[in-house]
Amino acid sequence: MNTEDLQELRQEYSGYDLDENDVKPNPINQFDQWMEEALNAAVPEANAMTLATTDKEGKPHARIVLLKGADKDGFVFYTNYASDKGVELEDNPNAALCFLWSELGRQVRIEGTVEKLDEEEVNEYFQKRPYRSQIGAHASDQSAVVESRELLEEKFNKLIQRYSEGQVPKPNSWGGYRVLPTAIEFWQGRSSRLHDRIKYYKENNDWVIKRLCP
């Protein structure tokens, strides 16, 4: 595909609007409403989100992870603490999240600080995971170099034999994070590129709502 092909790509948005007088006072509640609407619209993997972190040199890194909880305190996801993102969050406990629900012409951007979940919460979720996903958490030293796919699968199969009966224990390096939001922006696509952008800012533990230019 050449540059002209890309420049000709257009998506015209219609069907929804977003007004600062209609949104909920708390952005978590507004997010819950939009997530429910995305699920009702059968948006594929509506809980998929971009997670952006920075390393100790200030270089940004982004990847897709899955949201596994949203409560009054923030947004929860799970990973290996020894992975690249785990190391980066240890160095700089600030992160950004981004959801894209293109079927609804919507995007949500979240900025905040990050804290580790307590072990009880992590263990409870780990035991709810499918059996083979539990085994995979043991088999994969996430972000580490592996010589071949065959070696990874060999390790996986040995672990299946090892944990063929009984409960699979959580790996020590496996855990979760909660992103505590300081700003959340809701973006609704509109015609003529005059999109709606409503942003919540945390000020003195209260949420302030502003409309932004598209």
193 is an active site residue: yes
Tell me which of 63, 132, 162, 193 is the catalytic residue. 193
| DSSP class per residue in 90-140 | HH--EEEEEEEEGGGTEEEEEEEEEEEPPHHHHHHHHTTS-HHHHHHHHH-
Chain centroid offset of residue 40 CA = 19
Contact 38, 44 (CB under 8 A): no
Alpha-carbon span 103 to 108, nearest angstrom: 14
Alpha-carbon span 49 to 77, nearest angstrom: 10
DSSP letter at 155 equals H
Question: Could you give the residue numbers annotated as active site?
Answer: 193
